[in-house]
Amino acid sequence: MTTSSAAKKNDIQKLQRVIVDGLEDVKAQDIVVFDTENLSALFERVIVASGTSNRQTKALAASVRDAVRDAGFAKPRMEGEVNGEWIIVDCGQAVVHVMQPSFRAYYNLEELWGEKPVRLKLGVAKPAPVAKAPVAASAAKPVTTLRRSNAAKIGVAEAFPSRAQAAKTAAANAAAAKRDAAKAATAKATPAKTAARKTAGAPTTSITKVVVAEKKVITKKPATPAKKVAAKKVAAKKTAPRQA
């Protein structure tokens, strides 16, 4: 194998890998690759993948186009992206067919180009990003050196209140507890006083008013008949004319 043929093969494999990665980034289904070197002089790979909707097929084609271009290859040409049912991405040495399942089953490109399938390693894990080393506790800035504005932003002032604030809070809590205790004592004493008054026979406020009204009615004695007669005589004398 000459150097030029080896370089060409490496380029094809690299292009194939870039295309497959672009399809996997948008969750393509049923990705297959066929070696068409002996079937066509125009391209050496045919790649077929499925998308479940027009939106996904368009996204798959765009992802392949961007991945190929970013890898340093020539910008691919696209056909069929208007309706999204069958989109062809011409990448030069490889042609990608992004199809919806019904179109893929009807045209059956696997039967046409599937003489020599290429084994793929799908789902190749990408290198994980390097995790940053945790900051040592000794390197962290102490809380006491933070400004009040920064401390308020991160909640340090609430976690570590000043002495004056702590004393003020304690005094307010003590006053509230004292008020609650006084209310509780008053509420407890009121039923006891009412029960004691009832036991001693002291009437309640409403009953006292009724009793006083009744006493006034009882103490007001009606006039006797003799007094009524005497009052009439006195009145007759006052109204009778004097004799000459």
Least confident of 42-56, 64-78, 163-177: 163-177
Task: State the distance between the two ends of the chain, measured CA to CA, in whole angstroms.
Answer: 178
* pTM to 2 decimal places: 0.50
Q: What are 79's strand-pairing partners?
A: 88
Question: What does the pLDDT read at residue 79?
Answer: 94
Tell me how far apart the alpha carbons of residues 133 and 139 are, in angstroms, rounded to a whole number: 13
pLDDT of 207 over the 80 cut: no
Q: How confident is the prediction for the chain on average, in pLDDT?
A: 74
Q: Largest Cα–Cα distance of the chain, in whole Å?
A: 178
Q: What is the pLDDT of residues 64-78, one digit of tens each?
A: 999 999 999 999 999
Q: What is the pLDDT of residue 208?
A: 53
Predicted pLDDT at 224: 56
Angle at 55 between CA 54 and CA 61, to 5 degrees: 90
Residue-wise pLDDT for 118-169, tens only, equals 877 665 545 444 455 554 444 444 444 444 444 444 444 444 455 666 667 7
CA angle 112, 114, 119 (to 5 degrees): 160
E strands, the chain, in order: 29-35, 45-50, 77-79, 86-90, 94-99, 117-118
Question: What pLDDT does 29 receive?
Answer: 94
CATH code for 8-118? 3.30.460.10
- pLDDT at position 150 is 46
Helices 54-70, 3-25: axis angle to 10 degrees equals 140
Q: Is the pLDDT of residue 6 over 50?
A: yes
Q: How far is CA 48 from CA 44, 200, 233, in A?
A: 14, 104, 139
Lowest mean pLDDT among 38-42, 48-52, 215-219, 222-226: 215-219
Mean pLDDT, residues 175-195 taken together: 73
Residue 82 token pair? 């208007």
Q: How confident is the model at residue 209, as a pLDDT? A: 55
Taking 60 as the threshold, does the pLDDT of residue 204 lie above it?
Answer: no
pLDDT at 183 over 70: yes
pLDDT band for 7, please (50, 70, 90 cuts).
confident
pLDDT of residue 199: 53
| Per-residue confidence band for 225, with pLDDT thresholds at 50, 70 and 90 | low
- In 3-state terms, the chain is what percent helix, strand and coil (to 5)? 55, 10, 30
- pLDDT above 80 for 30: yes
Q: CA 199 to CA 119: how far, in whole Å?
A: 103
Q: What angle do CA 197, 198, 202 make, to 5 degrees?
A: 60
Q: Could you say which DSSP state residue 141 is in?
A: P
Residue extents of the structural domains in the chain = 8-118, 141-200
What are the E-state strand segments in 12-110? 29-35, 45-50, 77-79, 86-90, 94-99
Query: Residue type at 5?
Result: S
123 versus 231: the higher-pLDDT residue is 231
The predicted pLDDT at position 212 comes to 53
